[in-house]
């Protein structure tokens, strides 16, 4: 059976994910500093593409998984996919909202504010491996908003699914 083009990987290479986040942070800051709010539309496409298909349809995803991570990392670090997909969804919501503010309401200041928030979150992910969307996903699992079966490795960090994930990543 062939894998659908619209599938998100599980597990995800955190090294590649951090490279994508770093690129997003740089693009957001550059858009703000050069006063180019239209870049929010380009970022929105990238986030929507990554939510739908992981790195498959995303130029940044392709750059990170095929070029940057393989050449600039010692080895892949595999982490569960669902929290990363959730985080990409938050990025999609922010960039789509930024684009709507810009093109629908001519509110470039609002666009810049959302891009600034995204730059901060992406920098935390890229530099410190602190994924705010993943943290929110975890909190939502703890209080029961996301059922455990969505991410078996997330619901029990010492369970068999998490052990298998760590074994595959060499951690």
What pLDDT score does 153 carry?
A: 85
Q: Is 90 exceeded by the pLDDT of residue 70? A: yes
Cα distances from 36 to residues 22, 31, 41, 99, 119, in angstroms, run 19, 5, 11, 12, 15
Ramachandran class of 106: left when φ > 0, alpha when ψ lies in -120 to 50, beta otherwise:
left
Alpha-helical (H) ranges within the chain are: 14-33, 39-53, 59-62, 69-72, 81-105, 108-128, 132-142, 152-155, 160-169
In this prediction, residues 84-105 reach a mean pLDDT of 98
Report if pTM > 0.95.
no
DSSP 66: I
At 79, give phi and psi (nearest 5°).
Answer: -130, 160
- Computed over every residue of the chain, the mean pLDDT equals 90
| All structural domains of the chain with their residue ranges | 12-169
Q: CB of 133 within 8 A of CB of 83?
A: yes
Is residue 156 very low, low, confident or very high in pLDDT (cuts 50, 70, 90)? low
In this prediction, residues 76-103 reach a mean pLDDT of 97
C-alpha to C-alpha distance for 114 and 30, rounded to whole angstroms = 14
Q: Is 50 exceeded by the pLDDT of residue 139? A: yes
C-alpha to C-alpha distance for 171 and 153, rounded to whole angstroms = 14
What pLDDT score does 44 carry?
A: 98
């Amino acid at each position: 059976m062939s894998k659908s083009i619209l599938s998100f990987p599980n597990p995800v290479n955190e090294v590649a994910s951090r490279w994508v986040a770093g690129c997003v942070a740089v693009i957001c800051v550059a858009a703000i500093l050069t006063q180019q709010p239209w870049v929010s539309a380009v970022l929105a496409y990238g986030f929507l593409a990554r939510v739908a298909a992981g790195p498959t349809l995303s130029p940044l995803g392709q750059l990170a998984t095929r070029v940057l991570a393989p050449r600039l990392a010692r080895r892949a670090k595999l982490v569960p996919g669902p929290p990363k997909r959730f985080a990409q969804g938050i990025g999609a919501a922010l960039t789509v909202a930024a684009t709507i503010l810009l093109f629908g309401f001519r509110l470039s200041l609002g666009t810049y504010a959302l891009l600034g928030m995204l730059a901060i979150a992406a920098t935390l992910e890229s530099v410190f491996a602190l994924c705010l969307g993943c943290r929110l996903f975890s909190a939502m699992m703890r209080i029961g908003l996301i059922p455990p079966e969505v991410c078996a490795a997330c619901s029990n960090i010492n369970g068999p699914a998490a052990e298998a994930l760590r074994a595959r990543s060499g951690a």
